[in-house]
Amino acid sequence: MTATIETRQALTPPDSAERKMFVDGAWVDALSGETMETINPATGERLAVVPRGRREDIDLAVAAARRAFEGPWSRFKPADRQRLLLRIADLFEEHWDELSLSDTLDMGKPLTRARADKGRVAGMLRYYAGMATNLDGRTVDNSQPGEMFSYTRREPVGVVGAIIPWNAPIAASIWKIGPALATGCTIVLKPSEEAPLSPLLIAELMNRAGVPAGVVNVVTGSGTEAGAALAEHLDVDKIAFTGSTLTGQSILRASANNIKRVSLELGGKSPLIVCADADLDTAVPTVALAAFANSGQICIAGSRLLVDRSIHDEFVERLAAYASALKVGPGVDPDTEIGPLVSKRQLDKVVGFLDAGVEEGATVRAGGARIERGELAAGNFVAPTVFGDASDSMSIVREEIFGPVISALPFDSLDEAVKRANATPYGLAGGVFTRDVGTAHQLAARIRAGSVWVNTYHALDPAVPFGGFKMSGFGKEGGSEHLDEYLATKTVWVKLD
């Protein structure tokens, strides 16, 4: 009865004036005593202040993670880790309203959409729980003379440094913490300074679930200070990073210090190919969701729209009408479909792309500007934007915008569409819209991207691997391949005669 009462205690409200970070099982301030603000992107008002962790705070967290890895945590059996993950999943479900509200207030995601992620995130935790008892090595026949036995063991890689972005704090945290706990690793998580509150609530739930001290640590701070210190740290065995390609390159360089293992989920500029036979009633809203979900702040956002010339004009007209009808507003409004951008800095970046698109000759078919009317003027709101008359050379077509912007381009043949779809340094995702099953499979095979959706978009599942090609990174999240990123293979030889 006592445990049940404890799990139902409310989490720390996201607008609590001052928050602490979580290191070695305790809530602590930064050693410097410095703090930084986190801002509600819908209102421009301060939500809370969090510690500004620096290198010395990362040092303490990594040392705690190392002690836990070599100490009590190493004695947890697979079934123990499984039970712990299942307990965490139950707590997530019990407190999902609080977690989802935290994401909405801190980074702007519409609350209705944030609440809809409950099953996916709890499913991720339960998937990793199931995998915890399915990690095994193998015996290997060898050709050595005499009686020689050889086998392999898969062991936790050690201390993991995880650096996550602001666009999906809850899911991104669990994509790092889940496999670490399942495999027996320990972790130091550095959330984005733009949206650190949900990861701190997650640490609170980990503590309530009984995760031993030092196994999960959350250090808040800037990327250039705390993030860089974590990437460079000589006692970190692996870095799991989600974020921009530019930062990913910096992390790769930093990893050379101790040749640590690295997995990178980076940027994208995903193409959507709409064939002449596509079902427009399905394709139009799906394309809109591909581009505008989470205000376009998704690495897989379908921002390059390649439409067969025979249906191009009709499709763009219908897409523009759909975009114009989407309700833009604060995430806490139950009618909101498109929330604010995460920060003033991101707003300025996106508006810069909108201006560049017009200057380069594209035509605004919907949106095209910041929303500055009424109560929305105080927030970081941009109208869902559809550009027509675009060309492959334009910055809005070449560069990742991370805002609610899509550019439409006509094509005359499937070979042309594939060539232009692949003409990007990125390779994270893509979409195909057709009623012909042969065309669907052919295009899916030819698009150089880690995920290709056909007549749908954004579908994700814990059992299905996700990750990019080319400059969109390497390594997988989801599926059994994800666990491999957190495991090291050891070979054992035994002379029997």
Residues noted as catalytic = 265, 299
Contact assessment for residue 436 and residue 383, using Cβ atoms and an 8 Å cutoff: no
CA distances, 367 to each of 296, 311, 317, 450 (Å): 13, 22, 13, 30
CA distance 369 to 350: 9
Is 405 within 8 Å of 390 (Cβ atoms)?
no
DSSP 115-139: HHTHHHHHHHHHHHHHHHT-----B
Beta bridge partners of 270: 302
Q: For 305, what's the count of Cα atoms within 13 Å in the CB-facing half-sphere?
A: 29
Q: Which residues pair with 189 in a beta bridge?
A: 162, 218
- The span from the CA of 306 to the CA of 311, in Å, is 11
| Three-state SS at 96 | helix
Q: Which residues contact 471 (CB under 8 A, 6 or more apart)?
A: 245, 266, 267, 425, 426, 427
Interacting residues of 384 by C-beta distance below 8 A, sequence separation 6+: 288, 291, 292, 323, 324, 326, 328, 338, 366, 367, 404
List beta partners, residue 22: 27, 218
Q: What is the DSSP letter of 370?
A: B
Tokens found for residue 459: 């579908």
Six-digit token pair at 131? 């995998």
Inter-CA distances, 382 with 105, 362, 386, Å = 17, 18, 12
Contacts of 474 (CB under 8 A, 6+ apart): 263, 264, 467, 468
